[in-house]
Amino acid sequence: MDARDINLLDPLIFEERVPHEWFTWLRHHAPVFRHHEPGGPGFWVITRYDDVVEVGRDGVTYSSEQSRGGVVALEDVEAQADLSAQGRMMLTMDAPDHTRYRSLVNRGFTPRMINALGPHIREMVTKILDPALERRDCDFVTEVAAELPLQVIAEMLGVPYEDRHKLFEWSNRMIGSKDPEYAVSQEKVQQAAIEMYMYSNELAKRRREEPRDDIVTALLKADLDGDSLSEMDFNVFFLLLAVAGNETTRNAMSHGMHALIEHPEQFAMLAENPALVPSATEEILRWASPVMFFRRNVTRDTEMRGQKFKAGDKVSIWYISANRDEDIFPKPFTFDIRRKPNEHVAFGGGGPHFCLGASLARMEMSILFEELVKRVESVERTGPVKRLRSNFINGLKHLPVRLTPRARKAA
């Protein structure tokens, strides 16, 4: 392979497939690789597990804040402004601001608040699966995988059930704007953010007047050393939670279902032994890697594997590659629901920006697949899988399937 053939800026490649052959070559031949950038200085591509973890945990050397375009844009162009263009979000903060904000919003993600959702999430799963099983044929992405995180996030945020698809539509406009199915102008991307801010403002107003035992009320009441979330702080966090809590979990579930279809022996194993659901959930997360990379900016001259970084250099850490690193995961291209250990970096690999909603995502996925294998005899694909045109989100837009229900046992 010629390194000059690698073009991680081309979303069309990722619409067709994840170019794992590129990442494998880079891990073996150029684990710290200088990627070209048309009209720009280029950026570093980090592909090995240990290096990805090192960059992600060192928020002093590798900044989330000092970058044009935030943590999702590899090119320095105005048109690729990140989701926080209207305000600051935790994704684009460094300590001490990030530490302070995270401490505030953690109040809405206590184990008590997350665990309390378990029984209700199971009810949601049942209500989602019932009509799908009755129809037999469905689009697993839009009718199952998208519905569950939408309903959960709507519940957590106090968004009325009938408004949940507004979150879906806003999220698609902001994340999938390069995809022809969701394509909108940059102005409409910004308009989606503004509409979400207006919605969250109204929601916050209602919660201040009528507090509830939910995450919105907890966030509005959060106080740390005299600090509380400002109106814009709350708006930006609402946007981050609505988008991140919707997109990533949806895609992990969709990839998980697709992997189980492509590996029917794994589906049979899971149905035979539901105790494997926790390890299956971790393997799905490793396999899916819903967020493929994040960007950081170098704050001081340093080096990695003999390559010298200068202050101001752009660095991209590729979770999708780290989760296939042969030095960490034996047979990384084998989907194995019994894989242990499985210290994947789908949630960021630790460090200050470890995913705030990791426990919630694991709970949603575990409950969905527990109920699925309990109630479904088999799943077969009935049409082509359609991928999202994005080099950032490893997304599936459509997965047409036929669900065969298990025969009901006599009372």
Instruction: Round to whole Å and give the CA distance between 179 and 394.
Output: 12
Residue pair 286/346 in contact (Cβ under 8 Å)? The answer is yes
Instruction: Round to whole Å and give the CA distance between 214 and 201.
Output: 16
401's enclosing H/E stretch is strand 400-405
pLDDT at residue 69, rounded to an integer: 63
pLDDT at residue 298, rounded to an integer: 96
What residues contact 409, with CB distance under 8 A and at least 6 apart? none
375's enclosing H/E stretch is helix 358-375
CATH superfamily membership of 3-405: Cytochrome P450 (1.10.630.10)
**230 SS3 class:** coil
Which residue in 382, 379, 384 sits closest to 396, CA to CA? 384
Instruction: Round to whole Å and give the CA distance between 391 and 388.
Output: 9
**155 SS3 class:** helix
| Burial class of residue 343 (count of CB atoms within 10 Å of its CB; 0-12, 13-18, 19+) | middle
With tokens 């919660």, the residue in question is: 207
Which pair of structure tokens corresponds to residue 344?
């994947």
Beta strand pairing status for 43-46 and 386-387?
unpaired
**298 SS3 class:** strand
What does the DSSP assignment read for 19-36? Answer: -HHHHHHHHHH-SEEEE-
Instruction: Round to whole Å and give the CA distance between 215 and 222.
Output: 10
Instruction: Round to whole Å and give the CA distance between 327 and 324.
Output: 9
Per-residue pLDDT of the chain (411 residues; tens, 9 = 90+): 889 899 999 999 999 999 999 999 999 999 999 999 998 999 999 999 999 999 999 999 999 987 666 788 898 654 344 444 445 688 889 999 899 888 878 877 888 888 888 999 999 999 999 999 999 999 999 999 999 999 998 888 888 888 888 888 888 777 766 778 876 677 877 888 889 889 999 999 998 899 887 778 888 887 766 777 788 888 888 888 888 888 899 999 999 999 999 999 999 999 999 999 999 999 999 999 999 999 999 999 999 999 999 999 999 999 999 999 999 999 999 999 999 999 999 999 989 999 999 999 999 999 999 999 999 999 999 999 999 999 999 999 999 999 999 987 544
User: How many helices and strands, by DSSP H and E, does the chain display?
Assistant: 16, 12
Instruction: Round to whole Å and give the CA distance between 153 and 176.
Output: 19
pLDDT at residue 82, rounded to an integer: 46
With tokens 């105005």, the residue in question is: 78
Maximum distance among all Cα pairs of the chain, rounded to whole angstroms = 70
Listed by start position, the domains of the chain span: 3-405
Residue pair 289/320 in contact (Cβ under 8 Å)? The answer is yes
Distances, alpha carbon 341 to alpha carbons 70, 328, 408, in Å: 33, 9, 36
